[in-house]
Amino acid sequence: MTAKVLTIASGKGGVGKTTAVANIGVALAARGHKVICVDSDIGLRNLDVVMGLENRIVYDLVDVVEGRCRLRQAMIRDKRVPELYLIPAAQTRDKSAVSPSDMIHLCNELRPECDWVLIDSPAGIERGFHNAIAGADKIIVMTNPEMSAVRDADRVIGLVEAEEKGTPVLVINRLNSAMVKRGEMISVEDVLDLLAIKLLGIVPEDENVLVASNKGVPLALDGKSKAGLAFQNIARRLLGEEVPFLDLESQGLWQRLLGRK
Amino acid sequence: MSTVPSLIDIKGIRDGLLVKLGDSAWPTLQVALIDAIDERRSFFTGARLALDVGGQVLHVAELVTLREMLSERGIFLWAVLSSSSATEQTAQNLGLATRISKPRPSQVQHAPDAVMDAIALWLPRTLRSGTLVEFPGHVTVMGDVNPGAEIVASGSIVVWGRLRGVVHAGAQGDLNAVVCALELTPTQLRIASEIAVSPKRKGKVQPEIARLKDGILVAEPWQV
């Protein structure tokens, strides 16, 4: 097996990177792929909580990098799906505990182990972000339909391109189609107009996301909610399927007429 | 500084340390620099470093490697100075400064009328937020200039795309400099010492050109 290493980054915090990693990971694993999720947000780890695996952490990313344990020992298996693993971040250290070359080394060690490595990047564009993208084959940039998040995404895309990591793909999270229709939220077209990169997915705003992340049960496990379905579609697109964007996602003319302030 | 090899000249500046590299092949210089640092670890740890690489043409990979080697040693590389515009461009792309405190003497010498038609920077890509392009001549962008990107040129600026960032044409005082774009909606537009912001406008977008007329910034349809 040679895994594809994907990093989810955003620049701005709180746009849903961690939720996306958990859900895309679950969706890929549910389709029979072996997935390893890596939390690179050292000092502010969250992915373990969202995945509901917090109480099973023994070793973490920093332990692996500093040689206190073997790679396999830090991989926590999520028993709800066939082959999903988490390598958690350390909570009692900071970003300087890991360097970009450590991450490249780690990714190279993980590649023969699985089909997909999903790295959850911290917010910001400093050391932690450089660590997160160092070993990646492809970067997914996440944003909300909100001007400040879109500006930050633009900056992140520029930095990714400057590091010669290729052009990232985009996921727009928390889109509220009713608000877009009323002209109170910027539309998908407005976001794409500025960022001009390929769209991988649109995830609608959904209260179930919050409920699920508090419970530690990723939404994509059941796939009944709209957001869960959107994450499943993202996973399918990553696997090369042509999946149309959800119905609520296309509003066409109205966005053009009302979307802009 | 007698322990430091002659390839490397280190001095303290207001913003930290300025390291000037001599003339040699890049691998040699890099090794010499790292050796010099490792010899005096405690002196360098925690330092903010500006690097003057002279005319060296450096690529992204080389600068990224160096930045990483330095950061492993607790040194923060914040600026790369170079007389090569390719290197400056690379450094800017990586978010590094290419000037320390005040403009370098070579930049200041450009009198307004010294902007020759022959000097232009060709940028066939979109400038994203955080990109700063400074050039002592004209600048042509084939792509968009996004909000948060900035162009400072001694000459004119032409954007074959949407101009939504900040641009400063005639930055050394050239009153004849112009700015034109297919969609001219900059966050802020400056020509010489005049500053303007785009008015809110409706209707069809058309290419426009901004210039100084009797000391006032005006934008009009771009017809050649």
Chain B: residues touching A (Cβ < 8 Å): 60-61, 64, 68, 71-72, 93-95, 126-131, 144, 146-148, 164
Alpha-carbon gap, residue A236 to A193, rounded angstroms: 25
In chain A, residues with a C-beta closer than 8 Å to the C-beta of B200 are none
DSSP string of A70-87, one letter each residue: -HHHH-EEETTSTTEEEE
Determine, for residues A194 and B95 on separate chains, whether the beta-carbon distance falls below 8 Å. Answer: no
**pLDDT tens-digit profile of B166-199?**
999 999 999 999 999 999 999 999 999 999 988 8
Cα separations in angstroms, A129 against A99, A148, A195, B154, B162: 11, 18, 19, 35, 29
* Residue A94, CA atoms < 13 Å, CB-side half-sphere: 3
In chain B, residues with a C-beta closer than 8 Å to the C-beta of A164 are 60-61
At B220, the amino acid letter reads E
Residue A181 falls in which region: left (phi positive, over 0), alpha (psi -120 to 50) or beta = alpha
Lowest mean pLDDT among A155-169, A194-208, A219-233, B165-179: A219-233
A228 exposure class (CB count in 10 Å sphere: 0-12, 13-18, 19+): buried
Pick from A100, A101, A155: CB nearest B129: A155
Number of Cβ within a 10 Å radius of residue A236 = 16
Test the A interface: residue of B96, B128, B150 with most A CBs within 10 Å: B128
Domain covering B8-93 assigned CATH 3.30.750 in the classification: yes
Q: Do domains B8-93 and B105-221 have the same CATH topology?
A: no
Q: In angstroms, what separates the C-alpha of B94 from chain A's closest C-alpha?
A: 6
Question: What's A193's DSSP letter?
Answer: H
Domain ranges of chain A: 4-240
Cα separations in angstroms, B14 against B11, B18, B41, B67, B76: 10, 9, 21, 21, 15
Alpha-carbon gap, residue A62 to A59, rounded angstroms: 8
Pick from A162, A164, A194: CB nearest B146: A194
**CATH number of B105-221, picked from 2.160.20.70, 2.130.10.10, 3.40.50.1000, 1.10.3720.10:** 2.160.20.70
Lowest mean pLDDT among A31-40, A209-218, A243-252: A243-252
Q: In angstroms, what separates the C-alpha of B191 from chain A's closest C-alpha?
A: 25
Pick from B68, B94, B95: CB nearest A99: B68
Alpha-carbon gap, residue B97 to B142, rounded angstroms: 24
Fold topology of A4-240: Rossmann fold (3.40.50)
Determine, for residues A164 and B61 on separate chains, whether the beta-carbon distance falls below 8 Å. Answer: yes
Domain ranges of chain B: 8-93, 105-221
Q: Do A198 and A228 form a contact (C-beta atoms < 8 A)?
A: no
- Predicted interface score ipTM higher than 0.90: no
Pick from A100, A158, A159: CB nearest B68: A100
pLDDT (tens, 9 = 90+) of chain B, 224 residues, equals 444 457 888 887 777 788 888 888 888 888 888 888 888 887 888 788 888 888 888 888 888 888 888 888 888 888 888 888 788 888 877 778 887 764 444 433 344 444 455 578 999 999 999 999 988 899 999 999 999 999 999 999 999 999 999 999 999 999 999 999 999 999 999 999 999 988 877 778 899 999 999 999 999 998 86
Length of chain B equals 224
